Amino acid sequence: MAVYKFGGASLATPDAVAHAVSLVARRDGAPTVVVTSALAGVTDALLAVAHAAATATPAQLDAALGRLRATHAAVLDALLDGDDARTLHDALDASLAEVAALAAAARAIGELAPREVDRVVARGERLAARIVAAALGRAGVRAEYVDATDLVVTDGAYGEAAPDLAATAPAARRVLRPLLRARVVPVVPGFVGRGPRGETVTLGRGGSDLSATVLAAALGARRVVLWKDVPGLLTADPRAVPNARVVPRLGAREAAALAHYGAKVLHPRALAPLALAPAGKGTRVLVRPFARPDERGTEIVARRVESRAPVVAVAATMDQAIVRVVGRGLHALPGVAARALAALHAAGVPVSLVSQAASAYDVSVTVDGARAAHALDALRRALAPELASGELESVDARVGVATVGVVGACAADDARAAARALTTLADAGIAPLATAQGAAGASLSLVVDATRAVEAQRALHEAFRLHEPAAARTARVARTDVVLLGAGAIGRELAAQIAAAGARSPLRVCALVDRSGFVFDAGGLSRRRIAELCGAKVAGRPLALAPGARAATAAEALDAIAAHRPSRPVLVDVTAADTGALLERALGTGWDVVLANKVPLAAPQEAVDRLHAAGRAGGGRLLHEATVGAGLPVIDTLRKLLEAGDRVQRIEGCPSGTLGFLFGELGRGLAFSAALRDAMARGYTEPDPRDDLSGQDVARKALILARLLGFRGDLSDVAVESLVPEAMRALPRDAFLARLAELDAPWEARVRAARAQGRVLRYRVRVTRRRIAVGLVAVAPSDPLGALSGTDNQFAFTTARYRAQPLVVTGPGAGAAVTASGVYGDLLRLAAERR
Ligand code: ADP
Ligand code: ASP
Ligand code: MG
């Protein structure tokens, strides 16, 4: 047996009602109870009529009633005809005429009493249930309208009546069982019950969920299905957090917590009957998408769902007030908290959160914003003596706050989850006004200014990666969070390469940092976001201007990111700046570092020593394959040789693709100025080509290699032959470029002289443990270096074992794509090496 509840949003049009009918018809005679909401928008409209009844003009009232008539008539005319339609039209007319009469009476008295409000509002469900019952009959399903006042017995509190399960169960069984046995589908208006005197009462907004679970518990139904306009219970309200996702299984305690935080999707007390009634214990509760009945939606299960993810959802209760009782000093308030709570209870003001620091200096509670004034009154009266004597300083209220709930089986007792929640808010610049966390609770409450509630939910949703499937959130393979420093050509290429590898990759780019600021997403920047950010960078816009970015120095950015405790973080430096201090800090706090940036490793020896020392102390590893030969396995080869016990005596090579290209062109007879301009146009050079021609870049690579062999010395110890004549070194860039042609003749002479000896020109580094030389040489075409072409790099390792014939690594050694892949390789190595 099943109870099907159709929500208001699901009953919006004739087609929707027909769809609901077809879902019941699909049951094919299996015992089914149908509970309906009012048609979409009807409860709101009826409440508006009820509240304006005393003051509205007859014309206004007529208009409102006319709209209600049209809403219902549209559905029933589309689905029914003949006697059925006539009967329902009569019922509709009678119902609205009564509302008109009640309103007329209200105008006379000046108000509509709560009892009458419930009578008015209950009409929505009653009319909807009649229409659905008739439509079922029309579709060949035997159905019968059963009024809720015959079934659901309540305490009679108007507007928020609580069902009495013990009294409801026998009534529901007595009335419904015979119908079910006779294969008739009872159709019951939800949201409605009977007070002690038989009067009609309502169960509070969203109460048809509760009607459904009460009846399911009473009848011991196998399941109760709440058909909704959403795909199930989501990780957040989709109106606040658009990338919320369905939670497939949720413990009842978490679901109830979610509902209590005001997730409109479920009435706050909807799950209570099932926990209370012995028969209800076996009932499954399903929240399913009305529009896509083949999807599974959410199952709410009685026991706690085993999950390693502490947080399953976020929600917010809006329109709250925080009321504070402030004392004068330590322990000045014995018993005051108890009396304050008692006073609020006596005044009928429900309290949702209580927070008191151990210092007992003040006590804060949150209440419904509409009752703030009432709460203040009650407290001031109850605590008048202390306020008068000065023992208490004040009682005050702040309206316009919201309680954001972080819901999960262990959200409250997982210290890391709580810490993460608080740092997330801090990073978003949202100060919590009060917090509370139950020792055994299923949630953590954070009171914030209401204007920041949506932002807070989004940030928390993001921080707990709720937009990812639960399995991914708790996956055993730890993700490697990549923080990308520098969003130039290499950085963009690398980000794209990592993003393209998708969810299977252990790598995830969680932040992009440039000089202006940073963009961070604890859950990893999506491929699309990375593409957008890179696009903006290409267009010349600094990161700080991107949506969701923060302006910050790189050091501030790293601190903010570190506060989120990224998983196995790696700082990737693809800048060309002196980032030593930053890297030292990262390594010292246990972050790994991957460099394409040569500058920090070509810094003075003691700075480089400090870097390595920081890594040893903090546990961070430093890899830098891309600093020499871009993606070519130069450092990797060296490492393997050394690991295998070989002794590397010398490394010779051409580590500049730019100069390699230039000499290739000169060898083919091109003028120097033409060849250089071509290299510039192809993007092979630094913005000022003298940076390449001076040999500084090559010298840095040589120094990095030499240091790997044990060389201890600085850049100033490297003998570099600059290709820029002394007189042209200090010129402004444009003046230098204007005088390029002056260099053509001397270069032509050099090339010719080399050729006369059957040789070609190369710009070569030669590195040993003791000496580094960088400069122009003329080599035979049979020399390995002689055969190089284009922008290729080459490195020849002469070792104890590779003595006669060096071990040679050759290949493209410049360009964003190959440099990025050198960095990528290092990242994968770090990800693969368990610590
Ligand atoms: P019904 O039609 O059954 O009355 P409601 O309209 O009361 O359904 O509840 C569904 C709405 O609740 C959704 O449209 C959605 O906007 C809102 N909602 C808020 N929080 C959540 C959540 N965590 N999961 C799903 N829906 C939510
Ligand atoms: N129709 C009522 C409301 O809008 C009850 C419900 O939908 O559950 O609150
Ligand atoms: Mg609802």
Range of the domain at 802: 645-812
Mean local confidence (pLDDT), 93-105: 93
Instruction: Place 307 in a pLDDT band, splitting at 50, 70 and 90.
Output: low
User: 163-196: per-residue pLDDT in tens?
Assistant: 999 999 999 999 999 999 999 999 999 999 999 9
What is the number of the ligand closest to the CA of 212?
Answer: 2
Whether 465 is in a domain gets the answer: yes
Are residues 803 and 829 located together in one domain of the fold? no
Mean local confidence (pLDDT), 700-719: 93
Query: 776: domain CATH number?
Result: 3.30.360.10
Active-site annotation, residues: 701
Whether 506 is in a domain gets the answer: yes
Cβ of 193 less than 6 Å from ligand 1: no
Instruction: Place 835 in a pLDDT band, splitting at 50, 70 and 90.
Output: very low
User: 260-272: per-residue pLDDT in tens?
Assistant: 887 889 998 998 8
Cβ of 575 less than 6 Å from ligand 2: no
Cβ of 164 less than 6 Å from ligand 1: no
Classify 795 as helix, strand or coil: strand
Instruction: Ligand 1, residue 229: give the atom nearest the CA.
Output: 14
Q: 550 near 538, Cβ under 8 Å?
A: no
CA distance 259 to 271: 9
Are residues 491 and 378 located together in one domain of the fold? no
Residue 637 reports pLDDT greater than 80: yes
User: 359-387: per-residue pLDDT in tens?
Assistant: 667 889 999 999 999 999 999 999 998 88
Cβ of 7 less than 6 Å from ligand 1: yes
Cβ of 189 less than 6 Å from ligand 2: no
Cβ of 317 less than 6 Å from ligand 1: no
Mean local confidence (pLDDT), 744-767: 93
Instruction: Place 459 in a pLDDT band, splitting at 50, 70 and 90.
Output: very high
Cβ of 238 less than 6 Å from ligand 1: yes
Exposure of 484 by Cβ count < 10 A (0-12 exposed, 13-18 middle, 19+ buried)? buried
What is the number of the ligand closest to the CA of 265?
Answer: 1
Among 3, 42, 44, 208, say which to mutate for ligand 2: greatest number of ligand atoms within 8 Å of CB. 208
Nearest CA to ligand 1 atom 1: 7
Are residues 610 and 662 located together in one domain of the fold? no
Cβ of 207 less than 6 Å from ligand 1: no
Mean local confidence (pLDDT), 505-510: 89
Cβ of 293 less than 6 Å from ligand 1: no
Are residues 440 and 481 located together in one domain of the fold? no
CA distances from 420 to 242, 307, 356, 445 (A): 22, 18, 22, 13
Q: Which of 472, 505, 521 is the last residue of a domain?
A: 472
What is the number of the ligand closest to the CA of 16?
Answer: 1
Instruction: Ligand 1, residue 239: give the atom nearest the CA.
Output: 16
Are residues 624 and 665 located together in one domain of the fold? no
Whether 284 is in a domain gets the answer: no
Exposure string (b/e) for 527-547, b if CB count within 10 Å is 16 or more? bebbeebbebbeeeeebeebe
What is the number of the ligand closest to the CA of 159?
Answer: 2
Cβ of 16 less than 6 Å from ligand 1: no
More confident residue, 571 or 530: 571
Instruction: Ligand 1, residue 236: give the atom nearest the CA.
Output: 23
Among 17, 264, 285, say which to mutate for ligand 1: greatest number of ligand atoms within 8 Å of CB. 264
What is the number of the ligand closest to the CA of 405?
Answer: 1
- Residue 32 CB partners (closer than 8 Å, separation 6+): 1, 2, 3, 4, 24, 185
Are residues 829 and 695 located together in one domain of the fold? no
Q: 343 near 367, Cβ under 8 Å?
A: no
Ligand 2 centroid to Cα of residue 577, in Å, is: 62
Query: 64: domain CATH number?
Result: 3.40.1160.10
Ligand 3 centroid to Cα of residue 273, in Å, is: 17
DSSP per-residue string spanning 179-224: HHHTT-EEEEETTEEE-TTS-EEE--TTTHHHHHHHHHHHHT-SEE
- According to the model, what pLDDT value does residue 565 have? 80
- According to the model, what pLDDT value does residue 363 have? 86
Ligand 3 centroid to Cα of residue 204, in Å, is: 10
Instruction: Ligand 1, residue 6: give the atom nearest the CA.
Output: 3
**Ion ligand 3 — residues with CB under 5 Å?**
206
Ligand 1 centroid to Cα of residue 9, in Å, is: 9
Cβ of 665 less than 6 Å from ligand 1: no
* Number of domains observed in the structure of the chain: 4
Cβ of 405 less than 6 Å from ligand 1: no
Task: Give the up-direction half-sphere exposure of residue 569: CA atoms within 13 A in the CB hemisphere.
Answer: 26
Tokens 């368990």 belong to residue: 834
- C-alpha dihedral (53, 59, 63, 68), degrees to nearest 10: 40
Among 4, 11, 205, 229, say which to mutate for ligand 2: greatest number of ligand atoms within 8 Å of CB. 205
Residue 471 reports pLDDT greater than 80: no
Instruction: Place 708 in a pLDDT band, splitting at 50, 70 and 90.
Output: very high
Nearest CA to ligand 1 atom 4: 7
Instruction: Place 323 in a pLDDT band, splitting at 50, 70 and 90.
Output: very high
- According to the model, what pLDDT value does residue 262 have? 78
Instruction: Ligand 1, residue 231: give the atom nearest the CA.
Output: 25
CA distance 398 to 364: 11
Are residues 744 and 784 located together in one domain of the fold? yes
Instruction: Place 128 in a pLDDT band, splitting at 50, 70 and 90.
Output: very high
Query: 617: domain CATH number?
Result: 3.40.50.720
Query: 342: domain CATH number?
Result: 3.30.2130.10
- According to the model, what pLDDT value does residue 126 have? 97
Instruction: Ligand 1, residue 232: give the atom nearest the CA.
Output: 25
Whether 294 is in a domain gets the answer: no
Give the mean pLDDT of the chain: 91
More confident residue, 794 or 437: 794
Are residues 623 and 684 located together in one domain of the fold? no
The encoded tokens of residue 738 equal: 């204007």
Q: Which of 186, 214, 229 is the last residue of a domain?
A: 229
DSSP 8-state class, residue 305: P
Ligand 3 centroid to Cα of residue 289, in Å, is: 13
What is the number of the ligand closest to the CA of 262?
Answer: 1
Whether 216 is in a domain gets the answer: yes
Cβ of 204 less than 6 Å from ligand 2: no
Task: Give the up-direction half-sphere exposure of residue 714: CA atoms within 13 A in the CB hemisphere.
Answer: 9
Exposure of 526 by Cβ count < 10 A (0-12 exposed, 13-18 middle, 19+ buried)? middle
Nearest CA to ligand 2 atom 6: 206
Whether 236 is in a domain gets the answer: no
Q: Which of 472, 505, 530 is the last residue of a domain?
A: 472
User: 770-805: per-residue pLDDT in tens?
Assistant: 999 999 999 988 887 888 888 899 999 999 999 988
Are residues 732 and 666 located together in one domain of the fold? yes
Are residues 651 and 680 located together in one domain of the fold? yes
Cβ of 265 less than 6 Å from ligand 1: yes
Cβ of 205 less than 6 Å from ligand 2: yes
Q: 560 near 519, Cβ under 8 Å?
A: no
Instruction: Ligand 2, residue 210: give the atom nearest the CA.
Output: 8
Ligand 3 centroid to Cα of residue 208, in Å, is: 7
Classify 127 as helix, strand or coil: helix
Cβ of 228 less than 6 Å from ligand 1: yes
Q: 394 near 361, Cβ under 8 Å?
A: no
CA distance 724 to 776: 12
Nearest CA to ligand 2 atom 8: 206
Percent of the chain with pLDDT over 70: 95
Are residues 805 and 827 located together in one domain of the fold? no
Nearest CA to ligand 1 atom 20: 237
CA distances from 480 to 492, 498, 508, 832 (A): 18, 11, 6, 10
CA distance 177 to 454: 46
User: 605-618: per-residue pLDDT in tens?
Assistant: 999 999 999 999 88
Instruction: Place 686 in a pLDDT band, splitting at 50, 70 and 90.
Output: confident
Query: Would you tell me how many other CB atoms lie within 10 Å of the CB of residue 753?
Result: 12
CA distances from 693 to 280, 307, 718 (A): 83, 60, 16
Whether 158 is in a domain gets the answer: yes
Residue 330 reports pLDDT greater than 50: no
Ligand 1 centroid to Cα of residue 122, in Å, is: 21
Instruction: Ligand 2, residue 207: give the atom nearest the CA.
Output: 8
User: 513-529: per-residue pLDDT in tens?
Assistant: 999 999 999 888 988 89
User: 25-77: per-residue pLDDT in tens?
Assistant: 999 999 999 999 999 999 999 999 999 988 888 899 999 999 999 999 999 99
Mean local confidence (pLDDT), 681-697: 86
Are residues 23 and 169 located together in one domain of the fold? yes
Whether 375 is in a domain gets the answer: yes
Instruction: Ligand 1, residue 209: give the atom nearest the CA.
Output: 3
